[in-house]
Structure 1
């Protein structure tokens, strides 16, 4: 692959209609929306370089913004269309590399199966002085400071 570069005006004209337009905030408080072209360049930089999101150069919007939009574009299928438009056959390799790096979250079905499993007891600590296991918690023994009534 060639070294990464930001997309040029001609490429932007091809992919801009594919990207969903974000609605401006109804209230004029908070930070203004980041430029979609800059965010796309940041997302492409991470995908192409293989670096972490937090290692993005400062010329792009914050990595949190780029990552948030990346997730939205990826889940809606927009990112795949953009990659096909920009890179053609090479987009398959970039997308598969990014998918391999993405964290996979447990589905609700996997969580329920894991919750149904029997809880595992804390391992007992072996005490060579006695043949009995010692409780794992130091607070399981009666306090020497309590007076017998």
Structure 2
């Protein structure tokens, strides 16, 4: 590598796992001008440190090349496929079945910015204007499904699509989903039941004082905390909701790659 490494750079072990998914064309393709690994490193740098595209360090390929290749990767769905395979690998390594039978569902509201303000909504409960990230993880905290809506879309309204995405990712293997009290009611229960999933509401204790670690529910909260380590995901800086969702998937892929590479 002709430059000094950044902490966000992919390791040799990680690259050996990820390169088959990112090679949309052969390395010898005549239109390729920049190293595929350097393009991926630059994308990870943007997400991890939250810089603008045009603020790309000069020792990376030009920002326009990184942006264009990133859009190709996002459009191809390669990161979703990689996330599914990594999740299965890590589950098998931990002694679990390849596909989970239970999931944890929750949402997180991100404050909008001038770039995302045109599609933002107001979340009255969080008192924020922005976008809402609806996410499902397995009991180890690995990503199952994720999509983005305006913040004024309620959690119950997002259950149908999220449940369908969960079953699509796991081959209709999930039968139970743990949720918080924002998912109570027949609307959410019926939407999940239509996909063969039963919702189990984990309630706060009546005599709550200070922080309370809720059974099962803490797993998805930890997963959201993993995402906030990436500064690009602290707010909604993206013009398109699909880009915000894709960057979340890449962030979780990075986390799973780190653990999978330790087994190589």
Larger Rg: 1
SS of residue paired to 1:66: helix
Say if 1:4 and 1:48, in contact at 8 Å, map to a contact too: no
| Whole-Å separation in 1 of the counterparts to 2:9 and 2:64 | 19
Say if 1:56 and 1:63, in contact at 8 Å, map to a contact too: yes
Say if 2:8 and 2:44, in contact at 8 Å, map to a contact too: no
After TM superposition, give the deviation of residue 97 of structure 1 in Å. 2.1
User: 1:11 is matched with which residue?
Assistant: 14
TM-score (norm 2): 0.31
User: 1:102 is matched with which residue?
Assistant: 238
TM-score (norm 1): 0.52
| Whole-Å separation in 2 of the counterparts to 1:32 and 1:104 | 27
User: 2:77 is matched with which residue?
Assistant: 77
Write the deviation string for residues 85-128 of structure 1: whole angstroms up to 9, x where unpaired.
5xx6669825x9299322139xxxxxxxxxxxxxxxxxxxxxxx
Unaligned 5+ runs, structure 2 = 1-5, 87-141, 144-222, 242-264
Unaligned 5+ runs, structure 1 = 26-30, 106-149
SS of residue paired to 2:236: helix
Alignment of 1:1-149 (within 5 A): 4-23=7-26, 24-25=29-30, 32-82=32-82, 85=86, 93=227, 97=233, 100-104=236-240
After the TM superposition, which of the residue ranges 53-62 and 74-83 deviates more from structure 2?
Answer: 74-83
Query: Whose RCO is larger (CA < 8 A, sep 6+)?
Result: 2
